[in-house]
Amino acid sequence: MCRLCAVGQVVHTLPEGGFVYGVTTLDDEVFLLRGPGRDEVEVYDVITYRLLRRLSVPNCRRLCDMTSCKHYRCVYISDDDVGCIHRLDSQGAATQWPVNDQPMRISVTKAHHVLVICYVVRKIKEFSTYGELLRELTLPDDVIYPWHAIQLTSGQFVVCQGGFNRDAVQRICTISADGQKIVRTHGGQRGSDTGQYNLPWHLAVDDDEFVFVADPTNRRVTLLSPTLDFVRHVVSRDKLKRWPRFLRDVLSRDKLKGHPWRLHLDVQRRRLYVVDNEYKGDEHVGRVIVFSV
């Protein structure tokens, strides 16, 4: 039985600022990635949500996701323009290493390795914490525009996929450990009904391997069982800001570029961090809403 099945209740909202490109927790702190133009990490206390400090990300160009590793006590940030992963320790000491493809979303495995989705070439690349390429897997031909991958304890991967107007298929897949076969799926044709998605962009998985799916155009977070059966919508439309019309309608990839939505699940504290970005006139505004789950 999933311990994190309740409909989410808002606990706190972190301050508005520039667009948020990633959020994660490490030890007793929340790390929040801002941009564009600022490209810095804001660090908050995980209990009081008080701003503690800001960390710079040197030699960055276009940051697009963030995750953390408790074992090595560091955060990782993907940079799809430079084509690298930035590594910051908890105090901000920075290094970087190349991916040699365009990286998108990232996650950390149980073995403390970094999984990088390279969506253009449809590959999952696995690196050590210091950037050694351990392996790369090419996904099946019908997994088009994979955005995020998380490895399960079985060695299989849960992957969200679905392009913009160029890909009618929007779904969540479980992929075999060798990356060659689709084991099961949830979703299909683009839509807003229960069991459908419209650009599923980011994932989180709890200790029981229930899957949280960020579905930004439908403005909700969906919870799936370990076998990818629908459980419920954990975060609904009324808990989030209204997105601009062009984003809801998904008119073009160019208009969506730079307006991501991310998730981070703190299982220990039963907190789900949801990135919520919007336009206010010509201003790019982002915030993080913290839900109890």
Residue at token pair 């919520």 = 276
Reported in sequence order, the residue ranges of 140-219 that DSSP labels E, i.e. its strands, are 146-151, 157-161, 169-175, 182-189, 202-205, 211-215
Domain region containing 172:
9-292
Residue 134: which of 157, 115, 158 has the closest Cα? 115
Considering the domain boundaries, does residue 114 fall inside one?
yes
Considering the domain boundaries, does residue 3 fall inside one?
no
Mean pLDDT, the chain, rounded, equals: 87
Tell me: the pLDDT tens digits for 21-51? 999 999 999 999 987 666 789 999 999 999 9
Considering the domain boundaries, does residue 2 fall inside one?
no
CATH assignment of the domain containing 75: 2.120.10.30
Backbone Cα Rg of the chain: 17
Reported as type and span, the H/E element at residue 256 is helix 253-256
Which pLDDT belongs to residue 46? 97
Tell me: the pLDDT tens digits for 93-144? 999 999 999 999 999 999 999 999 999 999 999 999 999 999 999 999 999 8
Alpha-carbon distances, residue 58 vs 48, 77, 79, 140 (angstroms)? 28, 11, 11, 36
CA-to-CA distance for 207 and 184, rounded, in angstroms? 20
Considering the domain boundaries, does residue 1 fall inside one?
no
Considering the domain boundaries, does residue 59 fall inside one?
yes
Instruction: Please state which of the ranges 153-162, 252-261, 284-293 shows the lowest mean pLDDT.
Output: 252-261
Which pLDDT belongs to residue 219? 87
Considering the domain boundaries, does residue 140 fall inside one?
yes
Tell me: the pLDDT tens digits for 50-109? 999 999 898 888 888 999 999 999 999 999 988 999 999 877 899 999 999 999 999 999
Total of domains in the chain: 1
Complete DSSP assignment for 55-82: EE-TT-S-EEEEEEETTTTEEEEEETTT
Tell me: the pLDDT tens digits for 178-228? 999 999 999 999 888 999 998 899 999 999 999 999 998 888 999 999 999
Residue at token pair 């939505």 = 261
CA-to-CA distance for 20 and 41, rounded, in angstroms? 10
